[in-house]
Amino acid sequence: MNNTAFIFPAFITDFTQKELDYLKRNEVDFKHYIKIASEAIGVEIPVFSYDAAIYRSDELLSQIIAYLFSCAFFDTINKKSLKANYVAGYSMGIYATLYAAGVIDVKDGIKIIYKAYTLVSNLSCTGSYGMGAIIGLNKADIEKIITENHFEAEIINVNNEHSMVVAGIKKDIVQLLEQARQEGALSVSELTVNTPYHSKFLKQFAEPFIQFLDSLSLKKPVIPILSTYNQRVITEVNDVKLELVYNLTEKINWYDTVQSLLKLGVNTFYECGAGKDLSKISRFIEGDYHLKSVYKI
């Protein structure tokens, strides 16, 4: 079986600085996507440039710009008639995933991102929470550090067997990263995110978020979506709504998601978005597959 999956990144850690040229070559005007986003939330979003620090430092804008790039990249692929058997999104990549699956339009995605952000802003604005990345320790190693030190922190995403993302109380995250370094982690880094996404701290927002989603006219997916929460195949609108809530309030597992796609016969992945974050993660996920760049289509 030869199946293809389009996968969508979340926050962009590093732009290739080829993104805008690629879109221009494919006659896609990125300013148009910025305009749609501005109209959706009633706020003038700054013109994008690689040197604009605000797109890295501002949590909302970093989500919006990643989403818009992924939507624009998908549109270039769509114009070339390349089809996917499945789609999946890494963390906040779920919103572009829904766009690719025909569930929402660009504007609805911006509205969902903005609503989720404003719901959790009472947490993020306090500066009391944070996220971090640990490379070189396994899940059991990290959980042991958390338990022994009684840290208010948890693993909220598994990138691969030796790469984890943690979230929780900021001071505990800082100490957890230091303990992980001392235990032999190859790399630890505090993420520039003030919201503990995918953690127990966001469970309180599940009900108001689902109420907001009920006000939208979501469509049935035209491409099956693979859940990063429990790796089920999503084909119905009600399951889409549940997945959006899970993606905000529950742990996710990218490693298991890729493994599940491989079991479904996927052997070709296309990273649809700016940067190369998913390509970097995939280097440490074993399997008989190829991850291709949309730049080469």
3-state secondary structure 116-163: HHHHHHHHHCCCCEEEEEEECCCHHHHHHHHHHHCCCEEEEEEEECCE
Choose among 154, 118, 273, 233: nearest CA to 110. 118
The pLDDT score that the predictor gives to residue 230 is 98
Alpha-carbon gap, residue 175 to 184, rounded angstroms? 14
> Strand 153-160 and strand 163-169: pairing?
antiparallel
Q: Which amino acid, residue 185?
A: A
CATH architecture, range 134-190? 2-Layer Sandwich (3.30)
Q: Would you say 253 and 158 are in contact if contact means Cβ atoms under 8 Å apart?
A: yes
Question: Are β-strands 225-226 and 233-234 bridged in parallel, bridged antiparallel, or unpaired?
Answer: antiparallel
What local confidence, expressed as pLDDT, does residue 207 receive? 96
User: Under a CB-based contact definition with an 8 Å cutoff, are residues 188 and 137 in contact?
Assistant: no
What lies within 8 Å, CB to CB, of 287 at 6+ separation is 258, 259, 262
Strand arrangement of the beta sheet that strand 266-271 belongs to: 233-234, 225-226, 86-89, 3-8, 266-271, 290-293
Write the burial class of residue 31 (CB in 10 Å: 0-12 exposed, 13-18 middle, 19+ buried): exposed
CB 104 within 8 A of CB 25: no
Quick one: pLDDT at residue 293?
A: 82
DSSP state of 114: H
Domain 3-124+199-296 part of CATH 3.40.366.10:
yes
* CA–centroid distance for 27 within its chain: 26
Distance CA 106, CA 171 (A): 37
In the chain, CATH 3.30.70.250 sits at: 134-190
Q: What is the pLDDT of residue 183?
A: 97
Q: What is the pLDDT of residue 258?
A: 97
Task: Tell me the C-alpha to C-alpha distance, in Å, between residue 94 and each of 67, 103, 109, 238.
Answer: 9, 11, 10, 15
Start and end residues for every CATH 3.40.366.10 domain found in the chain = 3-124+199-296
Confidence (pLDDT) at 76: 95
8 A C-beta contact, residue 249 and residue 132? no
- 153-160, strands of its sheet edge to edge: 153-160, 163-169, 129-135, 187-190
- For every one of its 297 residues, what pLDDT tens digit does the chain have, with 9 covering 90 and above? 789 999 999 988 889 999 999 999 999 999 999 999 999 999 999 999 999 888 888 889 999 999 999 999 999 999 888 899 999 999 999 999 999 999 999 999 999 999 999 999 888 777 899 999 999 999 999 999 999 999 999 999 999 999 999 999 999 999 999 999 999 999 999 998 889 999 999 999 999 999 999 999 999 999 999 999 999 999 999 999 999 999 999 999 999 999 999 999 999 999 999 999 999 988 889 899 999 988 877
Q: Rg of the chain over CA atoms, in angstroms?
A: 18
Structure tokens at 18: 């080829």
Q: How far apart are CA 233 and CA 30, in angstroms?
A: 31
